[in-house]
Structure 1
Amino acid sequence: MMETAKGARRTDEYVEEEESRGDAPPEFPFLPPEMIREVLLRLPEKSIGRFRCVSKLFRSLSSDPAFAKAHLDLSLRNDAFPSGRRRLIVSYRHNLYTVDFDSVVDACDGIRDLGAVEILQSPVKSNVVSSCYREGYWVGVVGSCNGLVCTTNVAGDVFLFNLTTGESKRIPGVLDLLNLGTERVRNCGFGFGFHAITDDYKLVALVMGDVLNASVYSLKTDSWKRVGDSRYEYDDDDTNYDGVLVNGAIHWVARHRENGRRVVVAFDLTTEQFKDMAFPDEADECPHRVRGFQLHKLNGRLCMVYNCFEKHGDFWVMNEYGVASSWARVRISVSYSSMKPLCSVRNEEETLMELNGQLVLYNFRNDVSTSLVLKDAELRCVMAADTYIESLISPNQYGMA
């Protein structure tokens, strides 16, 4: 016992001596760094973040961009994303909130309150001058890929934000895209996606003016490239300016300049070229004076909903990508003026969606909807919502590995 106590005192004295010299104590001498790395790769992101405070070795290993990629690849390959790693991001005016996906799963069992946490250090919010904090001021969510969320605000800023690590990056040169000389500029829409072949995150900007100009930003090179295409013009009725990523391409609704025909425009992230996709045959039957369409994603498939001031009870889903005849009309029992499918729950038995400014669980089999409440958020409606997964991908170090 005396030897043990004496040994413990000697160990404490050794640690204190090492720390006083600025050196770290021995790092698990019986485990080589390679083995520690393999252990860390199999831990949740938040646990790894906490362990970075344990030792210099842990911090060095887990802060490596190659480690972040390997951690994400391993999780995706093993399909190891339990509900705790998937989260919602919700915007209301100038506030952003995150929602634990476990709350959504609980809602399937009748618990309708979702726990929401406000993101106090949002770069989109902090980068706007105080004069922008007025009625109608908003922040938006363009989309998310592999833990990086692309966000915008009314000041024209675009950020890539990792909500798990708190890192953010302001995309440079966005406002320069609007400097098109004498060309009349109406608006700018974005699309965000990951290109697996080049292992790069890309932001596509469509500048709607006299012609539709496109530019692509690469996170790897931190630069823009102009890939203009004047075959299309944006339809002012289709006010969903941000595109949706499906099957390696980003999609918008536009019209051909020659004949005014409405089409789905797909921008292929591999070829960086536009291609036309057929519109649903019956989609133009809306009798309302102001009518438009928005594109979303439902269980991995391209989906089109109405965007007008009137109520609708149907939408379209492209069951086989790129096949015009596979567009299928889906009718629901709830009328909507705005709708965005977010994700499926419990093996696609129910779908979480934004419906008329509220979060709703919809069961397509039973045609039953359940309204959900963000109990910890002071908001009257949902301005925008999206899902994201937790990861360690850094928007500031990507491409350095």
Structure 2
Amino acid sequence: MFRRLHIHMTLFSTLITGIILSLMAAACLLITESNIRQNHYTIFTNNAYSCISYLESQNVLSHRWMQQAQNNYHIQMQILDGQHPLFFDRLHENSDLQDIFSLAKKESKENHGLDLDSSGSSQALSKVAMFQIPGYYACTARIPKKQGALHAVFLYSQKEQVSQILRMRLLFLCAVLTAIFALAVFSWLFTRKMIRPLEKSRKEQNAFIAAASHELRSPLAVIQSSLSAIPHASKERADQFISISLDECRRMSRLIQDMLSLSRSDNHTWVLNTAPCEVDTLLLETFEKYQQPAREKGKKLRIDLPENPLPLCICDMEKVSQILTILIDNALSYVPEGGSIRLQAKKEPGAIAISVSDNGPGIPDSEKDSVFQRFYRSDASRNDKQHFGLGLCIAKEIALLHQGSLKILDTPGGGATFILKLPLQKN
């Protein structure tokens, strides 16, 4: 599903950006082509007027000037003295070019009112017509002289212009295709990066549902078997089955409560009831609460507090107590008989650090990040029905909710140390 979504998002983003890029490139190309045509036409008109100005000022025309004009201005010219072509034109006659000259004179006569086949000797000023015929820019001119008039036709081939436009189109096409390819690669990588958290969340959600289903199925199976056995059991056995069912119901209730807590954390609806809290008092209360259970399990619970009272911490006292309960419960489950657990607190710059350390088997480096995952349990506690693998996850969520942190370190000499840091209120 995610792969298909990845492909569709890549194609869609590439298509949309490709269309936008193509339209922008087409607009730029039209402007560029218009500038190229305008530039060539301007060059032609300037050169044609230069030739006309020269013809107006000269009474004698040299073959050398005409040849240089054609080469320098990249034009073809036909000059007639009255109706007779100059000797230069007769030397350079070209049947195809003569047809173009004839077409230019016809266009000049029919659409621009300048007939080069008439004498027009009565006119005192030169008359010029600029226009375009297939493949050429053309200029026709009648230049009055003392004895008659000169008729001139100038042609400027559009081959160079067309070639330049084709090169520009090819350049734009290559640029657009390269850009679309780059956009496709970028879209592939970017959408993959966008989808990866969704894919990870989906996997975690599936794993969470599977683990929760497994945890709920076990007590339900016990309850079902116990209830089905009650009608056929003696009173003592029936009471025992009822007790087992109630224990499993309480176990399910704890699991559901933990799952609801994580759900509130995921939905950002977990509300903190913050108030000034004496951390050392909270630690002493937690120590007194667990001193006797630890002694009954053959384990030592100690507390170390600084000589000076710890500063007040603005926090949710009930939820911080829940973190300490989770950490000490885990320590009591892991530490072997005869082991010790130490509860400590100290002030650090801008925070109060609370640590729960033990001398148990410790946590391998490869599992230090995994222990905060939901339903994760190490081999040592996998058979302990009192632990669902949600405690540490809930503890870390509460720490983050307080803008604090919860991390694991190795205890010197062996064991694990959990350090909870709660930020102090800034003055």
- TM-score, normalised to structure 1, is 0.20
Q: Which of the pair is proportionally richer in strand?
A: 1
Which structure exhibits the higher relative contact order, with contacts defined as CA atoms closer than 8 Å and separated by 6 or more residues? 1
Q: Which of the pair is proportionally richer in helix?
A: 2
Give the number of the structure whose alpha-carbon radius of gyration is greater.
2
- TM-score, normalised to structure 2, is 0.19
